[in-house]
Amino acid sequence: MKDTVYEPSDATVSRAHVDHARYAEMYARSVEDPEGFWAEEAKRLDWRRAPTRIKDVDFTHGSVSIKWFEDGTLNVAENCVDRHLATRAEQTAILWEPDDPEEPAQAITYRELHENVCRMANVLKDHGVGRGDRVVLYLPMIPEAAYAMLACARIGAIHSVVFAGFSPDALGQRINGCGAKVVITADEAPRGGRKTALKSNTDKALIHCDDRVKCLVVKRTGGQTTWTGQDVDLTAAMRDAATDCPAEEMGAEDPLFILYTSGSTGQPKGVVHTSGGYLVYAAMTHEITFDVHDGDIYWCTADVGWVTGHSYIVYGPLANGSTTRMFEGVPTWPSASRFWQVCEKHAVTQFYTAPTAIRALMGQGDAYVTGSDLSSLRILGTVGEPINPEAWAWYNDVVGQNRCPIVDTYWQTETGGHLITPLPGAHATKPGAAMQPFFGVRPVVLEPESGKEIDDTEASGVLAFADSWPGQMRTVWGDHERFENTYFQQYKGYYFSGDGCRRDADGDYWITGRVDDVINVSGHRMGTAEVESALVAHEKVAEAAVVGYPHDVKGQGIYCYVTLMTGVEASDELKKELQTWVRQEIGPIAKPDLIQWAPGLPKTRSGKIMRRILRKIAENDYGSLGDTSTLADPAVVDDLIENRQNKG
Ligand code: PRX
């Protein structure tokens, strides 16, 4: 079947920063002369000392080292705020939309942003935070989250944002993991008309942390909360703080932030991004992928708890002097028109969201969309998971009114910014395809077993990258060996993404999903190992194996096979208890969708769980189980098929 191809309109092409010819010319240069190309692109930033050493990269397992702009110095906050003051002081930097539509929106100008970032930086300094110290942020989607990130950057501290949906345990692990000196949180996080008690979650987390860790609290709702000796009322402290704070001169390779993300084994790892390369890449991809121009109102609906919020709500847009919207709420509250009402209210020009939100809204019917005037929209974007053609078509036809190119941006926490995406004026789009590499990015399709690069245009295999780009992660916090083993061991000389991929006859890329034990639930990445370890931490559980299965709205759902301790009786109540347990251990996003009692799990004779079989059963595709001859006890499989939970 031939794919539907949507060519960009003349209007899109003539407005775009990069058209087809320019893409071809720039891309060729970016891979033939990366040093020259990126030396030029680095000029997007204001450096204290301009870099002369542009690229120093080694992908060899055992000696992996990634450095960009190594001898340059700069301050990231200065680039995102101060340098815009001369020309944009009164322009809105952050346009904040609260959860409750009745509460007024706030427009924070670059001048006000500067003042608030300085105030917060001074408070942090008062509490002993300096260069290289770690600060954990556990905040709602409020302007203070951006102030806090930039305040850390200003004084050379390293932030680690923890999504406000994570549990106290998950928060505590991350505070300890990066050895944070300070946690910044809020009393409560309003979301979808409900409130999460962030401060009391933080109190619970801190029980397991060094008692010198200080807690700075933003008064978001003013709701009742407990205060202890180590707590600081950040809202009051900021009011009293000075409005100026010098920005530290940082090395390009000094860490800017740590962001924990799930992998196929063990606990989440702290992805480290550094200052210069990350910011060049975030700024460039933001400008070109979304074709951002002065006067645009750009909206990314992500949360700053994820990398998308880092690169495409805060750092990219602010480095470019754009107006970035920050939204505290959810797509479906008070009604399924919320996104579109907000688009109309603020005349949004670029809108960037996740396929899971699109699918959820599509299910509510078109009337929620067509009631709003969406004529300001120019570009639509998606990120986080493969988008199915139906959702793509709905986004294109109903939201974009066949007028707005859809940029399906493929990237990862590890990559800092977009790796494969159509560019509005340069590429056609195909429903479900991520299309073409960004500048400097060299995707390859490898044979999964042999690791051999497939040269034919049409190819199917695993996706890896043959060279570095400035936004690439540099290491895993405190564990460089894990970094090397995770990304550079299996396929020598390449960065391995963990994703499967297809390249079509036109040379366009289609991401087919993870090939490891990572699942993608509503665009949130989760390691099945994490859910398993939460389950086996329950006293009634002997063993657990977790896999993903196709879910209409979430993309993937969480399917758990659980073996109970001898003598424990299986019941529906116990299923509910386990669901609540996992929710508490990790957070609501990890709540199991389906639990199947498994008297035994399919194992090889050496005791390894055969997940391929469990995946097939969960997918209701047990007709093609493949080779089961290595199973220790083939009868286990019949029982699992008989009692499978996904009979759809
Ligand atoms: O499997 C890919 C999927 O999300 C993974 C990265 O997840 P995370 O680090 O949480 O970052 C999400 C936001 C960048 C990838 O390994 N993924 C991301 N974008 C796409 C995608 N899959 C298909 N199409 C995409 N556009």
**DSSP secondary structure, 483-500, as one string:** HHHHHTSSSTTSEEEEEE
* Ligand 1 atom nearest residue 408's Cα: 26
Nearest CA to ligand 1 atom 21: 385
Q: Residue with the nearest Cα to atom 15 of ligand 1?
A: 412
592 CA distance to ligand 1 centroid (A)? 21
Contact call for residues 371 and 295 (beta carbons, < 8 A): no
Task: Name the residue of 310, 414, 525, 530 to mutate for ligand 1: max ligand atoms within 8 A of Cβ.
Answer: 525
514 Cα nearest atom in ligand 1: 1
Question: Residues within the annotated binding site for CoA?
Answer: 191-194, 308, 522, 583
For residue range 119-131, list pLDDT tens digits in order. Answer: 999 999 999 999 9
498 has a pLDDT exceeding 80: yes
- For residue 556, what pLDDT is reported? 94
Confidence of residue 452 (pLDDT cuts 50, 70, 90): very high
The ligand 1 atom nearest the CA atom of 382: 26
Mutate-to-test residue for ligand 1 from 411, 472, 476, 486, highest number of ligand atoms within 8 A of CB:
411
Q: At what angle do helices 276-289 and 34-41 cross, to 10 degrees?
A: 80
Using the mean position of ligand 1's atoms as its centre, give its distance from the Cα of residue 511 in Å.
Answer: 9
* Confidence check: pLDDT of 449 > 90: yes
Decide if pLDDT at 97 tops 80: yes
Beta-strand relationship, 182-186 and 214-218: parallel
Q: What is the mean pLDDT of residues 204-217?
A: 96
Distance CA 344, CA 337 (A): 11
Q: Are the CB atoms for 381 and 424 separated by under 8 Å? A: no
Mutate to test the pocket of ligand 1, among 163, 258, 410, 429 (most ligand atoms within 8 A of CB): 410
- Residues forming a β-bridge with 609: 603
- For residue 71, pLDDT over 90 is answered with yes
For 141-155, the pLDDT digits (tens) are: 999 999 999 999 999
Query: Strand, coil or helix: what is 353?
Result: strand
Is the pLDDT reported for residue 353 higher than 80? yes
> If you take atom 25 of ligand 1, which residue's CA is the nearest one?
410
- By the 10 Å C-beta count (0-12 exposed, 13-18 middle, 19+ buried), 513 is classed as middle
Residue of the CA atom closest to atom 7 of ligand 1: 412
pLDDT band at 631 (very low <50, low <70, confident <90, very high): confident
C-alpha of residue 411 to centroid of ligand 1, in Å? 5
The confidence score (pLDDT) of residue 1 equals: 54
pLDDT more than 90, % of the chain: 91
CA of 385 to the centre of ligand 1 (A): 5
Instruction: Return the closest-CA partner of residue 202 out of 218, 185, 188.
Output: 185
**Residue of the CA atom closest to atom 18 of ligand 1:** 384
Residue 249 Cα to ligand 1 midpoint, Å, equals 33
Binding positions: 191-194, 308, 384-386, 499, 514, 522, 525, 536, 538, 541, 583
What is the whole-number distance in angstroms between the Cα of residue 302 and the centre of ligand 1?
13
- Integer Cα distance of 475 and 477 in angstroms: 6
pLDDT of 211 strictly over 60: yes
Q: How far is C-alpha 8 from the geometric centre of its chain's CA atoms?
A: 27
Mean pLDDT over 162-186 rounds to 97
**Which residue lies with its CA nearest to atom 13 of ligand 1?**
384
Residues comprising the binding site for ATP? 384-386, 499, 514, 525
Q: What's the pLDDT at 630?
A: 78
Per-chain mean pLDDT for the chain: 95
| CB half-sphere exposure, 396, CA atoms < 13 A | 21
SS3 at position 377: coil
At residue 469 the predicted structure's pLDDT band, cuts being 50, 70 and 90, is: very high
> Residue 384's closest CA among 418, 410, 362?
410
Q: How far is the CA of 521 from the centre of ligand 1 (A)?
A: 11
Query: What is the percent of the chain where pLDDT is above 70?
Result: 100
Is the CATH number 3.30.300.30 carried by domain 522-643? yes
Substitution site in 385, 420, 508 for ligand 1 pocket (most atoms within 8 Å of beta carbon): 385
By the 10 Å C-beta count (0-12 exposed, 13-18 middle, 19+ buried), 32 is classed as exposed
**217 CA distance to ligand 1 middle (Å):** 32
**DSSP bridge partners of 159:** 135, 257
Q: Which atom of ligand 1 is nearest to the CA of 420?
A: 26
Q: Which residues of 599-625 are buried (b: 16+ CB within 10 A; e: fewer)?
A: eebbbeeeeebbbebbbbbbbeeeeeb
Query: Distance, CA 463 to ligand 1 centroid (Å)?
Result: 12
- Cα 497 to averaged position of ligand 1 atoms, centre (Å): 10
Q: Whose CA is nearest to atom 5 of ligand 1?
A: 412
Atom of ligand 1 nearest to the CA of 513: 1
Task: List residues near ligand 1 (CB under 6 A).
Answer: 261, 307-308, 383-386, 408-413, 434, 497-499, 511, 513-514, 520, 525
Which tens digits make up the pLDDT trace of 362-390? Answer: 999 999 999 999 999 999 999 999 999 99
- For the annotated binding site for Mg(2+), the residues are 536, 538, 541
Of the pLDDT bands very low, low, confident and very high (cuts 50, 70, 90), residue 108 is very high
If one residue of 259, 262, 420, 520 were mutated to test the ligand 1 pocket, choosing by the most ligand atoms within 8 A of its CB, it would be 520
2 pLDDT band (50/70/90 cuts)? low
Q: How far is the CA of 524 from the centre of ligand 1 (A)?
A: 9
How far does the centroid of ligand 1 lie from the alpha carbon of residue 354, in Å? 10
Please tell me the distance between residue 519's alpha carbon and the centre of ligand 1 in angstroms.
10
Predicted confidence (pLDDT) at residue 603 exceeds the cutoff of 70: yes
Comparing 172-186, 408-422, 520-534, which segment has the lowest mean pLDDT?
A: 520-534
